[in-house]
Chain A
Amino acid sequence: MFSRDNWREIFQTIQKNKLRTFLSGFTVALGILIFVVLFGFGNGLINTFQLFFEDDAQNIITFFPGQTTMPYKGYKSGRQIEFDKSDLSDIEKDFPLFLEYVTPRISRSYLTKYKNESNNYSTRGVAPSHQFAEKTIIMKGRYLDQLDIQKKTKIAVIGRLVEKDLFGQEDAIGNYIDLGGSVFKVVGVYQDDGGDDEERRVYVPYTTLQLIEKNTDKVDQIIVAFRPELGYTGAIALEKSLSTFFKEKKFIKPSDQNGIYIRNVAEGLKQTQQLARVLQLIVSFVAFGTIIAGIIGISNIMVFVVKERTKELGIRKALGATPKSVISTILLESIFITTISGVVGMIIGIAILSSLDKTLEDFFITNPYIDLPVAIFATVVLIIFGGVAGYIPAKRAARIKPIVALRDE
């Protein structure tokens, strides 16, 4: 069946019937190509969704103070809730097993000046662990440390674009900037994957900011990072007990939804992952449909090929071709063509995916890719069905009596 003579015969048939070969090869190659590209786009879509969240840490629950809307324990409704330093330490004391770190955030917008350049930037007073919550990457110098918090030092860590705006070509490290009237020493420059806005910020120790603002101990937001081992359910449970803790401490009626606001990344992440999964499912469905269409295409062509060759097969049978040799000739030819063109389609598809890389980011497709086993699996499926599609008409052709096949017209 696999003798050299056999292959020579098959190659000759392929060479002498270029259009036929091209048509069946093209169908298969296109089917695999579209499958690979579509599947890759699906993966790219998921990548994009993951990137949205990778910019910040994913084990974060943020608490925002709000205004009460219900009277409770002698307090009127409409009371503004405020967080302060004691809340931080209380959380750390009460939930040590569940937490990785806690950091406050005080957000201000200051006119920031260096020499003749000035601009308004959002300035955040934070603790050192805030670096992990935002996934801030230090390019040069250093981030805030615990000593800065204790000594309330006037140091600042500025974004890459802040340095570019204010310092131009100059190195910002060691220079002094004016932040809303106070002078801060720049000790670090950072970058952030979250986009330009995130790189136009200034981080200072929150204690320093509190000192400037008449030595208060208020903070705007409290960011809590839970241990990732908690998982989704653990995170939701922790969110609930922290909420209860805050409501109790701040005398907010448990049913009051507006006393504090909570944003739990875990929740959004789960929803987004579900959405991405549904999208992937849809894309897989379409890709699967493409494979089916490819199989139908190759089946049609094989039926046509066998029909077209009926007379030739009749001649061959009259000259002594056994049914087995007729079937194996057609089958080997079809498997050969589908294999070659399937692999070609797969390689082109993968090449297209890797060449696109980041060019489709505007369409929410980031780094489209396909796992090689998936691509190979699809190709093999198409080859097998191409074989089956060839086998059925080939078997019928092998059964045709030579006289029927040889009859004129």
Chain B
Amino acid sequence: MIQIKDLHKSYKMGKNSLHVLKGINFNVEEGELVAIMGSSGSGKSTLLNILGMLDELDEGSYTLDGVPIKNLNETKAAQYRNKFLGFVFQSFNLINYKSAAENVALPLYYQKVPRKERQEKALKYLAQVGLKEWANHLPSELSGGQKQRVAIARAMAAEPKVLLADEPTGALDSTTSYEVMDLIQKINDQGNTILIVTHEPDIADMCKRIVHLKDGVIIEDKKIEQVRAAKYV
């Protein structure tokens, strides 16, 4: 699903150049649930941003579902993001004046899905995350866990190839975190490919594979025995 070869990325900070990613090689197969771990500054978020086409790579190659991701203009990147990727952010990033259902329907709007179908799909995915009754509530009327579940439903609504989650539990307490992880595991069980950036070991243990980043290189890449979140809920 994802092939990354010899990926380099550096940021210019005034006169100095900060080399963040120093040659990353890594593949993700379909249906995997991967945790990308590392302390802050290890480059894990940068990697996720490049994977999410939110940022461009300097060197190396990135292939997503057989499509080389290279020299994309803004419009093309937007179309690919819309088609291939679903995002879940630490701070939810819901649009505050839109109801839960409208937030979930937004990626479908950019896919030019007809309105009726959009609404049906939005409700379907809200039901999957257990928030069907909250469809018409604004984000401000939802708890943190509910917001993240809406965000996950929104990411899933576009039926992406890969779901990218940047610290999805970072702003949540542990009980809620496990609820969200339970949901992510269930989605993964259906065959969806998911990448999670996290620095919490217990969250990483709930994935199937942990990629450890340090100072811009992968120092460890191992498959693990998944801890099911359901037993903590």
Contacts and interface: CB of A to CB of B under 8 A. Distances in A.
Interface in A263-319: 311-312, 314-319
Interface in B64-116: 74-75, 78-79, 81-83, 87, 89-91, 93-95, 97-98, 102, 106-107, 109-111, 115
Interface string A322-366: 111100000000000000000000000000000000000000000
B97 A16 contact: yes
B142 to A, nearest CB: 16
Contacts, number: 69
- Classify chain B: how many residues form its interface, as a range: 20 to 34
9 contacts: A315-B95, A319-B107, A319-B158, A320-B83, A320-B110, A320-B111, A320-B158, A322-B79, A406-B93
Contacts of A403: 49, 54-55
Contacts of B91: 408
Given A319-B82, A320-B158, A324-B75, A17 B97 contact: yes
A399 B74 contact: yes
A179 interface: no
A5 B109 contact: yes
Interface in A203-229: none
A320 B93 contact: no
What is the predominant secondary structure among interface residues of chain A facing chain B?
Answer: helix
A318 B54 contact: yes
Nearest to B93: A315
Given A12-B98, A13-B97, A403-B55, A323 B107 contact: no
Contacts of B93: 311, 314-315, 318, 406
A9 B105 CA distance: 12
Contact of B78 (A5, A8, A16, A321): A321
A155 interface: no
Contacts of A311: 93
A401 B110 contact: no
A48 to B, nearest CB: 52
B52 interface: yes
A406 B49 CA distance: 11
Given A318-B93, A408-B90, 18 more contacts: A8-B115, A12-B102, A315-B95, A316-B95, A316-B110, A317-B78, A319-B106, A319-B107, A319-B154, A320-B81, A320-B82, A320-B111, A322-B79, A323-B74, A323-B78, A325-B110, A398-B74, A406-B54
A12 B55 CA distance: 30
Nearest to B138: A16
